[in-house]
Amino acid sequence: MQISVFSINTKRYQRNNTFKVYLSPDLNIHRLYKAFKEKYTASRIPQSFYRRVFKRDFPMLSFKRPRTDTCKTYDLLDCKIKLKNEENAMAKQQLDLHYRKTEKARDLLNEDICQSQTPGSIAVYQWIYNRYFLYLLLLIQTSEMFYLRQLSCFNFAVRVEDIGQPIMCMWNESIGNRGGNEISSCLVKVLNKGITEKKHLVIWSDDCCGQIKTA
């Protein structure tokens, strides 16, 4: 089958998910069909039939979402593995170790979350950088707005795992930027809300190498 010639990838940070594989985010059904027609010019198979075959015969194959905020360690090792040179075996071992560290950290986070929901236990705050960290206002689609100065607004999310409640800290650029002082101020404000009376605090930050470091 022509679909089998395209390179595939497994999902990041999930070594156990060995059956689900992904095509490049640059591809879609239409592009696959177009490549099929270029290779088999005499074929009269319609795209609708091609789509049905894809879904029926390749149920574990999907299109990978474009990566916008990736870990540089993963990207570097992934590139070395794709080169298939003398560094390939070592890169695979390092990537496997990287996976294991990620899984261990996730397990520790889940343990802390479960423990925090027990009366009299620790308090866990999960510090999150999300993709909505920066807003540009006003959100107007008029073409002239692309040439005008827009107001930058920042959002910092903290999730209190004891009660499963997220807290959003928002400010605009006239108040402050998004440096360490601003992030620290957000954490102090959340802690002073008195959401929990627990004395032992654990803070987890979604901040792997390659992401924004502001604190």
Which pair of tokens denotes residue 59? 């149920």
The answer to whether residue 108 sits within a structural domain is: no
Q: Give pLDDT, residue 65.
A: 65
The answer to whether residue 85 sits within a structural domain is: no
Residues 65-72, mean pLDDT to the nearest whole number: 64
Residue at which a domain ends, from 29, 51, 67? 67
Which residue type is seen at 121?
A: S
* Backbone region of residue 41 per phi and psi (left: phi > 0; alpha: psi in -120 to 50; beta: other values): alpha
* 128 shares a domain with 51: no
* In a domain? residue 99: no
Count up the domains in the chain and report the number: 2
User: What is the value of pTM for the model shown?
Assistant: 0.56
Domain assignment of residue 21, yes or no: yes
Give the tens place of pLDDT for each residue, 25-49: 767 888 888 888 888 888 888 999 9
The answer to the question of residue 164 being in a domain is yes
Task: Report which of residues 6 and 86 the model is more confident about.
Answer: 86
The phi and psi torsions of 62 (rounded to 5 degrees) equal -140, 175
CB 175 within 8 A of CB 154: no
Query: Residue 194 has what pLDDT?
Result: 80
Q: Domain check: are 51 and 130 in the same one?
A: no
| 54 plus 123 within the same structural domain | no
Q: Which distant-in-sequence residues (6+ apart) come within 8 Å of 212 by Cβ?
A: 129, 133, 178
Q: Which tens digit of pLDDT belongs to each residue from 125-181?
A: 666 554 447 777 777 767 776 667 778 888 888 888 888 888 888 888 888 887 778
Please state, as a whole number, how many other Cβ atoms lie within 10 Å of the Cβ of residue 162: 20
Q: Among 25, 49, 67, which residue terminates a domain?
A: 67
Structural domain includes residue 41: yes
On whether residue 94 sits in a domain, the answer given is: no
pLDDT tens-digit map of 84-141: 777 788 888 888 888 888 888 888 888 888 888 877 777 776 665 544 477 777 777 6
Average pLDDT over residues 52-59: 85
62 and 141, same domain (yes or no): no
Whether residue 165 lies inside any domain: the answer is yes
Domain that holds residue 63: 2-67
Q: Return d(Cα 128, Cα 204) in angstroms, integer.
A: 8
